[in-house]
Amino acid sequence: MALVRQFEANLLLLDHPADSLTRHQWSYLHQRTSGYIGSLASLFKQAAHHAIEIGTERLKPAILDQVRIDHGAEIEYAGCAR
């Protein structure tokens, strides 16, 4: 959770509530990234860019779900979803 909090604190999104992902989505983020820091960093970066592009300025689960990260993390997450 501390790592998610650090990544979230560094987001430069105008409408993103502080600690919202840390409090409500940390388990999803861990599953989604298989606990890999690089995968988490990639997910945050790509999701933030996408949020800015669509004008949301906030990371929501629906935005996180649209981001594709590294192959290994995606395969592991797909295996967990079964």
pLDDT tens column, 22-80: 999 999 999 999 889 999 999 999 999 999 999 999 999 999 999 999 988 888 888 87
How sure is the predictor about 81, in pLDDT bands with cuts at 50, 70 and 90? low
Pull the structure tokens for residue 79. 């295996």
12 lies in some domain = no
Number of domains in the chain: 1
The pLDDT value given to residue 50: 95
Range of the domain at 26: 19-80
Alpha-carbon torsion, ordered 3, 46, 66, 77, to 10 deg: -40
pLDDT at res. 79 = 81
pTM of the model: 0.86
Residue 62 lies in a domain: yes
